[in-house]
Amino acid sequence: GQQVMQIPQYQHVQEGEDFTTYCNSSTTLSNIQWYKQRPGGHPVFLIQLVKSGEVKKQKRLTFQFGEAKKNSSLHITATQTTDVGTYFCAGSLSGSARQLTFGSGTQLTVLP
């Protein structure tokens, strides 16, 4: 079945440092979504990427979708304590039954 691998599993950074999480799929994806889950909370949608090579920015967050539509990354510039949480990628296959397959997530800790 479809697998979506995400690394690293954990990341501790000092406030102000940059952070990147990577997502790789075993199969070509129709689109990829990113979610953030705060400690004790539920996943909240951040963005969706659809096109090959697409790059989108949200303030300090930069999202990329690979040319082959098999990998993606989320980069946070100058982390803040409000960035703490777990970041998940979720991929969708083309065709029917387009369920989302979630990566295992990267838990980000920002040290003040």
Partner 1 sequence: NAGVTQTPKFRVLKTGQSMTLLCAQDMNHEYMYWYRQDPGMGLRLIHYSVGEGTTAKGEVPDGYNVSRLKKQNFLLGLESAAPSQTSVYFCASSFIQGGSEQFFGPGTRLTVL
Question: Would you give the binding string for partner 1 spanning residues 32-61, x where CB under 8 A is met?
Answer: -x-------xxxxx--x-------------
Q: Can you tell me the distance from the alpha carbon of 108 to that of 32, in angstroms, rounded to the nearest whole number?
A: 20
Any contact of residue 98 with partner 1 (CB under 8 A)? Answer: yes
One residue of 31, 64, 71, 72 binding partner 1 per CB under 8 A: 31
Least CB distance to partner 1 at residue 16 (A) = 28
Q: Can you tell me the distance from the alpha carbon of 84 to that of 92, in angstroms, rounded to the nearest whole number?
A: 26
For strand 85-92 and strand 106-111, is the pairing parallel, antiparallel, or unpaired?
antiparallel
Any contact of residue 97 with partner 1 (CB under 8 A)? Answer: yes
Number of residues assigned to the chain = 112
Any contact of residue 9 with partner 1 (CB under 8 A)? Answer: yes
Any contact of residue 99 with partner 1 (CB under 8 A)? Answer: yes
Give how far Cα 95 sits from Cα of 20, 23, 29, 69, 87, Å.
Answer: 30, 21, 10, 15, 26
Give residues in contact with partner 1 (CB under 8 A).
Answer: 1, 6, 9, 30-31, 33, 41-45, 48, 88, 90, 92-93, 97-105
